[in-house]
Each structure stands twice: as C-alpha cells, then as structure tokens.
C-alpha cells in the first residue's frame, strides 16, 4: 500500500500487474509452507487453485493506463481489504477439517465457477500470453491451470516456456518434470529425470524434486538411490508434517524390496520410531521376490498369513506379464504402513503367498504384533511403491494373524 499512496509512484501500473504481484506473494508463502512441511501437499494444491482461480477471473480485464493519485489510493484501499480476505479464504481452504472430507464430484472449479467458465478464463490467459510471452508468472499459471484440467501435454509446454525465462527456479523445474511425466504416461524416465536433476542442481533441498528423483530411482529398481533421495526429503520435513508417514513407508518399502538393511540411526531419517532397532542384514537381503518365495515361510516366526491372490477375469486385459504385483498385510487397527510385503509379477497370477515376520518393513511393526490384518494385492505398471490411478487392487476381509487359505481377488481399478 505505501508505494501506491506515495505521490511519486511510478505511472503505468495496471490492475493486472497488481493482481499478479499479489498472486506471486501469496504463492511464495504457500510454497514456503509446503517446503517446510507445515502445509500438506493436498492442502497446498487446494489453496493454490483458489488463488489462481481468483486471478484468472481478473486478468485481461483492464488495459495499461496511468493511474491518477485518486486511482492509486483506491487500489491501495482495495488491496488493504483484499489481502486479509484472501488470507481468510486460504485459511478456510486449508484450516478446516471439512476441506479434507470427500466431496461430491461436479463440474465446478474450487473457485465455484463452472468448468465452462474456467475453460474460458484459461483460454483468455493463453491468448494473452501469445501477445505477451515474456511473462514467466503467466506461463506458470497457465501450466497449473492446464494441469488442473489434466491437459498435461499443454501444461508441460507452458512450464517449458516459464522455465526458459526463469531457468533457476527449482520449484518450477520440479512442476515441469511432474507435468511432462504425466504427459508421457506417468513415466519419469528420459527428459523428466533430466529436468529433476536440473532442479536439484539449483536447490538440492527442494522437497518435490527429491521426491520425484526418489520415485524415478525406485521405478528403475535403483533402491539405494531412491532411499537416499527420500531420506534427504524426510530430513527436510518437520516431525509433525502429514507427509512424514508416507515418506517413511516409501523408504521402508524400498529397503525391503532392495535388500537394504534398516539404518541404525533413530528418528525419522531412518524411517523408524526413536526406539526401534535396526533389522539384521540377512533378514531383508535374504528375501526372495519370486513366486517360490510366496510359498516359503514355514520357518517364520509366529506372525504368518497365507493364501492365494487371483485376478478378476474382467481385468485380465489390463495386466501385462511384467507388471509388478505387491502383496501386503496391513493392520486392521493401527498404522497404514504395510506390516509385511511380497513382490511378484503379473505372469505369476494366480499366486500363492505366505507373509511372515521375516518380511516386515520395520522391526518395530510386524505381523505378530497385531491380532487382525487385511491382506491386499496391487498391480502397478510402474512398480511405484505408492498407489497410483490406473493400478489394480484387491483386499481381503479382516483375518486373524495365523490364518491359512486367505483369498484375495484383484477386482478394482484405482481412480
């Protein structure tokens, strides 16, 4: 407000430029909160969409003009009112528990406008950038708007235009790599990985770039590299962050699948609780991932569940022989992290399995520690540890630990 109220303010400021400035400051605050972990990724996305939708509704409505002192004063007063209102809107988006509840799907954007109205605004912004291409913030906004519409090819092109003008923005590069990977069928191999490497060169502590780098390494079965990237990201998150548990689960799964022993350190970097003991190398390194391993387990501890995983016939056309199939046990009551996990391939289905304490992802959380579990099976074309849209999944009813003959039918496609 002070520059706008000052008599010597530079003429030529437009309403669009003021809107963009306000948007930029709000987005920087949101990204800072995301990086330090005080804002979960889903909450960040919701708040960011609110801000971008408001800006999209305003851009392009005014022509550049010299503002009079009276006009500048009016803008200053408007900003003085708008900023706290925007802050309130962000609070309502991310501070209310209701924001996390499932909502009925409709064709309205987070700002309340119809999908058709939003498309018009996105088209207006795209047209504006054709006339004024030297606007990196505009390209970023266009890329995120396209991503909201799941138009990932156009999103990656918009991000490319922004990155060409701001090549040293790690967050922008991470968003660019993410959109490009989505555009090429959720594959990070190739150009997306190169862009991620650029992002980490600019900022080795960018959490999104580290998470993407870990996922890329995991997908090519380079489990030590995946663990290294995810542990670095985990070390940048505060202990109370909502992301900590999911990152810990990813690290634990990479360790189990890669035969990497648990780190002896305590705390969140090791992916364990402060009092957990490290697993012995032989327990994890000796684990087989083939179909024969599914039948072994007679020498396991008291925690053991066995049965068979089958695929629903109607989904047979959606699975390839080389697809990864994760078979896991999860406590009915307790943490979401799998208590034991086994990895086979699509060609092995139907597959007999036996999960036991030797397959625990953490010695602090084993099958024998829980009375009842759910057995799940998930088919992943990318071998991603985290569930992705397009994965095929099936879950058993709750069973007692020690049960034999458990049937799991893969009959659901994740959306």
Give pLDDT tens digits for 241-281.
767 777 888 888 888 887 777 654 333 333 323 222 223 22
Per-residue pLDDT, 144:
86
Q: How many domains, the chain?
A: 1
Give 311-314 contacts, CB < 8 A, sequence gap 24+: 311/349, 311/350, 311/379, 311/392, 311/409, 311/410, 312/394, 312/409, 312/410, 312/411, 314/411
Give pLDDT, residue 150. Answer: 82
- Distance, in Å, from the CA atom of 121 to the CA atom of 113, rounded to the nearest integer, reads 10
Residue 337 lies in a domain: yes
In a domain, 305, yes or no: yes
Check which CATH number belongs to the domain holding 351 and give it: 2.60.40.1120
Q: Is residue 376 part of a domain?
A: yes
Note the pLDDT of residue 255. Answer: 84
Say if 194 falls within a structural domain.
no
For residue 35, CA distances in Å to 38, 81, 143 come to 8, 28, 20
- Residues found in the chain: 415
Instruction: Supply φ then ψ for residue 309, to 5 degrees.
Output: -110, 130
- The band of 48, judged by pLDDT with boundaries at 50, 70 and 90, is confident
**Taking the CB of residue 31, how many other CB atoms lie within 10 A of it?**
16
- The mean pLDDT of 7-29, rounded to a whole number, is 60
Asked if residue 38 lies in contact with residue 238, where contact means CB atoms within 8 angstroms, the answer is yes
Q: Are strands 372-380 and 340-345 parallel, antiparallel or unpaired?
A: unpaired
Inform me whether the pLDDT recorded for 286 exceeds 80: no
- Cβ burial of 124 (10 Å; 0-12, 13-18, 19+) is middle
DSSP type of residue 381: S
| Measured distance CA(119)–CA(125) in Å, rounded | 10
Phi, psi of 318 (to 5 degrees): -100, 10
**Spatial distance between the Cα atoms of 52 and 23, rounded to a whole number of angstroms:** 7
For residue 77, being part of any structural domain is answered with no
340: in domain: yes
Which pLDDT belongs to residue 87?
57
Asked whether residue 102 carries a pLDDT value surpassing 70, the answer given is: no
Give the pLDDT mean for 307-334. Answer: 90
The token pair at 63 is 């022509």
53 pLDDT exceeds 80? no
β partners of residue 374: 330
d(CA 161, CA 53): 21
For 363, counting Cβ atoms within 10 Å of its Cβ (0-12 exposed, 13-18 middle, 19+ buried), the class is: middle
Check residue 62 and report its DSSP letter. Answer: S
Range of the domain at 344: 287-413
Please report whether residue 343 resides in a domain.
yes
pLDDT at res. 61 = 52
Q: Which two tokens stand for residue 29?
A: 């605050």
- Largest separation between any pair of C-alpha atoms in the chain: 84
Of 1-5, 238-242, 403-407, which range is least confident? 1-5
pLDDT digits (tens, 9 = 90+) for 197-217: 999 999 999 989 999 999 999
Contact 253, 361 (CB under 8 A): yes
Which distant-in-sequence residues (6+ apart) come within 8 Å of 54 by Cβ?
86, 89, 111
Digit-coded pLDDT (tens) for 340-356? 888 899 999 999 999 98
Task: For residue 350, say if its preceding peptide bond is cis, omega within 30 degrees of 0.
Answer: yes
Query: At 273, is the secondary structure helix, strand, or coil?
Result: coil
Integer angstrom CA distances of residue 54 from 26, 107, 145, 154, 338: 12, 17, 12, 21, 41
pLDDT tens for each residue of 56-73: 666 555 444 444 555 556
3-class SS of residue 235: helix
Tokens of 92: 């309502």
- The pTM (predicted TM-score) of the whole model is 0.46
- Please report whether residue 251 resides in a domain: no
Paired tokens of 46: 């919701």
From the list 33, 27, 25, 26, the residue with the least C-alpha distance to 237 is 33
Q: Give tens-digit pLDDT for 383-392.
A: 776 778 889 9
């Amino acid at each position: 407000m002070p520059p706008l109220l000052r008599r010597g303010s530079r003429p030529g400021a437009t309403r669009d430029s003021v809107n963009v400035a306000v948007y930029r400051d709000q987005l920087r605050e949101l990204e800072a909160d995301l990086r330090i972990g005080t804002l979960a990724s889903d909450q960040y996305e919701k708040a960011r969409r609110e801000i971008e939708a408001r800006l999209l509704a305003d851009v392009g409505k005014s022509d550049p003009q010299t503002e009079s002192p009276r006009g500048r004063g009016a803008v200053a007063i408007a900003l003085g009112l708008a900023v706290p209102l925007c802050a309130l809107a962000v609070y309502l988006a991310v501070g209310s528990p209701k924001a996390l509840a499932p909502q009925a799907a409709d064709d309205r954007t987070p700002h309340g406008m119809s999908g058709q109205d939003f498309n018009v605004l996105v088209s207006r912004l795209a047209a504006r950038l054709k006339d004024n291409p030297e606007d990196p913030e505009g390209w970023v906004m266009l890329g995120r708007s396209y991503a909201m519409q799941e138009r990932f090819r156009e999103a990656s092109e918009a991000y490319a235009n922004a990155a060409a003008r701001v090549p040293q923005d790690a967050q922008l590069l991470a968003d660019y790599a993410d959109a490009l990977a989505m555009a090429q069928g959720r594959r990070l191999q190739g150009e997306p990985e190169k862009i991620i490497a650029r992002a980490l060169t600019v900022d080795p502590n960018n959490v999104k770039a580290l998470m993407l780098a870990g996922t890329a390494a995991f997908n090519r079965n380079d489990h030590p590299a995946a663990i290294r990237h995810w542990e670095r990201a985990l070390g940048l998150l505060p202990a109370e962050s909502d992301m900590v548990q999911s990152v810990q689960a990813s690290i634990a799964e990479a360790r189990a699948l890669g035969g990497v022993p648990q780190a002896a350190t305590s705390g969140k970097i090791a992916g364990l609780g402060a009092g957990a003991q490290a697993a012995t190398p032989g327990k994890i390194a000796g684990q087989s991932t083939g179909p024969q391993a599914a039948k072994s387990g007679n020498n396991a501890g008291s925690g053991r569940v066995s049965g068979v995983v089958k695929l629903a016939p109607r989904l047979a056309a959606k699975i390839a022989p080389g697809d990864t199939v994760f078979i896991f046990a999860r406590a009915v009551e307790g943490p979401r992290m799998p208590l034991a996990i086994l990895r086979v391939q699509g060609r092995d289905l139907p597959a007999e399995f036996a999960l036991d304490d030797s397959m625990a992802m953490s010695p602090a959380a084993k099958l024998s520690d829980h009375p009842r579990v759910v057995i799940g099976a998930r088919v992943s074309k990318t071998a991603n540890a985290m569930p992705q849209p397009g994965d095929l999944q099936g879950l058993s009813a709750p069973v007692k630990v020690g049960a034999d003959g458990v049937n799991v039918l893969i009959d659901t496609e994740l959306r």
